[in-house]
Amino acid sequence: MENLLQIHNITKIFGEGTINEKVAISDLTLKLQAGDFVTVIGNNGAGKSTLLNCIAGVFPLDRGDIILAGKNITKIPEYKRAKYIGRVFQDPLKGTAFDMSIEENLAIAAAKNKSRGLQPGLTKADRNDFREKLAMLEMGLEDKMTQKVKLLSGGQRQALTLFMAVIAEPKLLLLDEHTAALDPSAAEKVLALTEKFSKREDMCTMMITHNMKDALKYGNRTILMQSGRIAMDISGKEREDMTVEKLIEKFSIDNDRMLL
Amino acid sequence: MMTLTALLGAIELGTIYAVLALGVFLSFRTLNMPDLTVDGSIVTGMATAAVMCSAGINPYISLIGAFIAGACAGFMTGILHTRLKIQAILAGILVMLASYSINLRIMGKTPNIPLTKSETIYNMADKILPSKYSGIVIGLIVLAVIILLLYLFLQTRLGFVFRATGDNEDMVRAAGVSGDNMKLMGLAISNGLVGLAGGMLAQNQAFADISSGTGMMIIGLASVILGEVVFGTKTLLRRLISASLGAILYRVIISQALYLGMESSDLKLVSAVIVAAALYLGILGEKGAKIRKRRGQNGKSASNS
Ligand SMILES: Nc1ncnc2c1ncn2[C@@H]1O[C@H](COP(=O)(O)OP(=O)(O)OP(=O)(O)O)[C@@H](O)[C@H]1O
Ligand SMILES: [Mg+2]
């Protein structure tokens, strides 16, 4: 079966030739199949966010190619790639326009693959569609669609951002510690939604987390990053047999945060 | 209190400054960018409209010309900012500086073009309406059309992403749209409106003057802020109307102050003080609201102890 996402020998060096030179991603290769949900773990500075940024096109690569759904996207600018990629970050403020209403935010996200001209930004049909879909989040957002996003709680916002990331049916969903800023119950809710949305057959998901339990609980594959490389890649039986303790023991991850 | 004629005059001028304020609203509020191009593009609009009017072109067509000329200035600022990565404020200053030379060229190297013999939207209106009110009526009609068009535009798909750009450019990019292109478009439309206001101003005062742009951005800003404070910001349409009414109110206040004996040469100082005070009081934006709230709480706890 064809891989949905192929990352071939990519390298990303920051500050090349300066004393601050940092090889953030080093000759990394990774292939994801449609339907894959990969959790990404690793110490601070291991290069997890950089990997996701490379895939999303935030900065140019030094070497290597990225192929998504059969299309080489290595040189495509970030905003154009975004048509096939949904992203959610740790900061709940990053994903929404705070001074616009929930429905307006959704309309912007939903129009990702449509032409953006002088068509009405929001039709009655859109509204009904959004109301129906928002109800799936079970956060009561469907009753406050005209409310400005800045009035929402962090958890509500992050759920909305996640929803906005998948509403236009991307090929790839990139999540960078998207529940790290939430309280435990909100985090759990957003993770449950993540799992639900990741079930789409023609998409794959990558989720960075510092929570080892979540890393094993969600998804079908886990990779561990160390200094810009993939140090471990487990799935199937091997992953089922993995425990948080064994993970920590095996890779001597001396990071207290990860035990939690 | 000033005379009725003076009041009507102030309102008439206010309808023109309202168009300027809408332009400033787009850059300053919607794009969240202080754009100093305004001081240049308003004269570009004046010059263009004056040259077109004195060549016998229909004064309404001249206003469209003024819009396009202003938009070109804004577009240049946008190019400097988004493509050459020059800071927004500096890009605006550069274009403001350059536009001085361009404006002089448009005006045929004379610093002043009189329009006393040309047809303008104002003396056209005088023919059908009592001249006391004709200027206000025509100003309000132009203003209403602009507010309506702007409102409709901001409700389109393109308008939605444009509005989001000032809020959160990351989100706009994530939605598959180049924030840079939105800024480019916004600066063009914003300065187009400023140019249009310049064209109206030239026709209203029956001359174009090369040096009349100084401080226009601040006057626009003062109008926007005044409008927000007095008339509110609840909905998008409300915000557009508030900015416009703010401009009219600002003219009325200035005209009353002049009546009470303020020197007209102090006008710019007063405008600057008003805007500085508004900025300090944190009327601008969210942060201000938070600071005010905190101050309020501190005040309370201090008085409790
Ligand atoms: N824009 C940048 N410019 C320079 N160096 C960078 C940049 N982004 C990341 N780095 C460096 O690259 C390395 C990898 O950083 P990255 O943010 O990818 O780590 P991470 O695995 O996401 O860590 P964390 O768990 O703390 O989020 C770090 O040493 C970091 O300092
Ligand atoms: Mg990171």
Backbone angles phi, psi at A221, to 5 degrees: -160, 145
Q: What gap in Å lies between CA A190 and CA A180, rounded to an integer?
A: 11
Mean predicted confidence (pLDDT) in B50-57: 96
Query: Is the predicted pLDDT of residue B305 greater than 50, yes or no?
Result: no
Backbone angles phi, psi at A139, to 5 degrees: -125, 10
DSSP string, B212-265: TTTTHHHHHHHHHHHHHHHH--SSHHHHHHHHHHHHHHHHHHHHHHHHTT--GG
Query: To the nearest whole angstrom, how far is the Cα of B68 from the nearest Cα of chain A?
Result: 20
Which phi-psi region, left, alpha or beta, contains residue A122 (left: φ > 0; alpha: ψ -120 to 50)? Answer: beta
Which of the listed CATH numbers 1.10.10, 3.30.2170, 3.40.630, 1.10.3470 matches domain B4-304? 1.10.3470
Closest-CA residue, ligand 1 atom 16, reads A47
So what's the pLDDT on residue A252? 61
Closest-CA residue, ligand 1 atom 5, reads A14
So what's the pLDDT on residue B301? 40
Regarding the beta carbon of A209 and ligand 1, being less than 6 Å apart is answered no
Mean predicted confidence (pLDDT) in B105-131: 94
Q: Helices B38-54 and B59-78: crossing angle, nearest 10°?
A: 150
Q: How confident is the model at residue B282 (pLDDT cuts 50, 70, 90)?
A: low
> In this structure, what token pair is assigned to residue A83?
């048509």
Distance of CA B242 from the midpoint of ligand 1 (Å): 45
Query: To the nearest whole angstrom, how far is the Cα of B180 from the nearest Cα of chain A?
Result: 10
Regarding the beta carbon of A25 and ligand 1, being less than 6 Å apart is answered no
Chain position carrying tokens 């926007």: B224
Using alpha carbons, select from B13, B24, B27 the residue that is nearest to residue B249.
Answer: B13
Query: Is the predicted pLDDT of residue B295 greater than 60, yes or no?
Result: no
Regarding the beta carbon of A251 and ligand 1, being less than 6 Å apart is answered no
So what's the pLDDT on residue A258? 47
Contact in structure between A4 and A172 (CB atoms under 8 Å): yes
Mean predicted confidence (pLDDT) in B155-166: 96
Query: Is the predicted pLDDT of residue B171 greater than 70, yes or no?
Result: yes
So what's the pLDDT on residue B294? 55
Atom of ligand 1 nearest to the CA of A53: 18
Q: How confident is the model at residue B274 (pLDDT cuts 50, 70, 90)?
A: confident
So what's the pLDDT on residue B290? 52
Query: To the nearest whole angstrom, how far is the Cα of A240 from the nearest Cα of chain B?
Result: 34
Cβ distance B178 to A79 less than 8 Å, yes or no, reads yes
Mean pLDDT, chain B, rounded, equals: 91
Across A137-141, A251-255, B207-211, the highest mean pLDDT is recorded for B207-211
Q: Which residues of A touch B234 (CB under 8 A)?
A: none
> In this structure, what token pair is assigned to residue A40?
């990404």
Encoded amino acid at A72, one letter: N
Q: Which of B83, B171, B181, B235 would best serve as a mutation to test chain A binding (most A beta carbons within 10 A)?
A: B171
Atom of ligand 1 nearest to the CA of A210: 25
Mean predicted confidence (pLDDT) in B77-89: 97
Query: Is the predicted pLDDT of residue B299 greater than 50, yes or no?
Result: no
A26-35, A57-66, A240-249, B145-154 — which is least confidently predicted?
A240-249
Contact in structure between B38 and B23 (CB atoms under 8 Å): yes
| CA dist list (Å): A54 to A40, A61, B27, B178 | 15, 7, 32, 18
Mean pLDDT, chain A, rounded, equals: 92
So what's the pLDDT on residue A90? 92
Regarding the beta carbon of A18 and ligand 1, being less than 6 Å apart is answered no
Q: How confident is the model at residue A12 (pLDDT cuts 50, 70, 90)?
A: very high
Query: Is the predicted pLDDT of residue B285 greater than 90, yes or no?
Result: no
Q: What gap in Å lies between CA B40 and CA B28, rounded to an integer?
A: 16
Query: To the nearest whole angstrom, how far is the Cα of B294 from the nearest Cα of chain A?
Result: 18
B58 alpha-carbon distance from chain centroid: 24
Using alpha carbons, select from B137, B132, B268, B142 the residue that is nearest to residue B200.
Answer: B142
Query: Is the predicted pLDDT of residue B116 greater than 70, yes or no?
Result: yes
Cβ distance B171 to A96 less than 8 Å, yes or no, reads yes
Distance of CA A195 from the midpoint of ligand 2 (Å): 21
Mean predicted confidence (pLDDT) in B56-84: 98
Query: Is the predicted pLDDT of residue A149 greater than 70, yes or no?
Result: yes
Mean predicted confidence (pLDDT) in A193-212: 94
3-state secondary structure of A204: strand
Backbone angles phi, psi at B5, to 5 degrees: -60, -45
So what's the pLDDT on residue B283? 61
> In this structure, what token pair is assigned to residue A133?
């879909």
Query: Is the predicted pLDDT of residue B148 greater than 50, yes or no?
Result: yes
Q: What gap in Å lies between CA A11 and CA B195, rounded to an integer?
A: 49
Distance of CA A151 from the midpoint of ligand 2 (Å): 27
| CA dist list (Å): B268 to B201, B246, B275, B296 | 18, 17, 11, 32
Contact in structure between B58 and B281 (CB atoms under 8 Å): no
Q: What gap in Å lies between CA A83 and CA B257, rounded to an integer?
A: 55
Provide the ipTM.
Answer: 0.89
Atom of ligand 1 nearest to the CA of A47: 18
DSSP string, B101-146: HHHHHHTTT-SEEE-TTS--HHHHHHTTS-HHHHHHHHHHHHHHHH
So what's the pLDDT on residue A124? 95
Residue A249 has a CB neighbour count (10 Å cut-off) of 10
B287 touches A at CB < 8 Å: no
How do strand A204-208 and strand A37-42 relate by DSSP bridges? parallel
Query: Is the predicted pLDDT of residue B303 greater than 60, yes or no?
Result: no
Q: What gap in Å lies between CA B202 and CA B212, rounded to an integer?
A: 10
Query: Is the predicted pLDDT of residue B297 greater than 60, yes or no?
Result: no
So what's the pLDDT on residue B131? 87
Give the contacts of B36 (CB within 8 A, at least 6 positions apart).
B89, B92, B93, B96, B217
Mean predicted confidence (pLDDT) in A204-212: 95
Q: Which residues of B touch A113 (CB under 8 A)?
A: 176
Proportion of chain B above pLDDT 90, given as a percent: 80
The minimal CB distance from A108 to the residues B155, B161, B286 is found for B161
Q: How confident is the model at residue B271 (pLDDT cuts 50, 70, 90)?
A: confident
Query: Is the predicted pLDDT of residue B245 greater than 70, yes or no?
Result: yes
What pTM did the predictor assign?
0.89
Mean predicted confidence (pLDDT) in A128-149: 92
pLDDT in tens, A74-119: 999 999 999 999 999 999 888 999 999 999 999 999 999 899 999 9
B85 touches A at CB < 8 Å: no
Chain position carrying tokens 């999540």: A175
Query: Which positions 127-186 of B are in contact with A (Cβ < 8 Å)?
Result: 153, 155-161, 163-164, 167-168, 170-179
Distance of CA A44 from the midpoint of ligand 1 (Å): 8
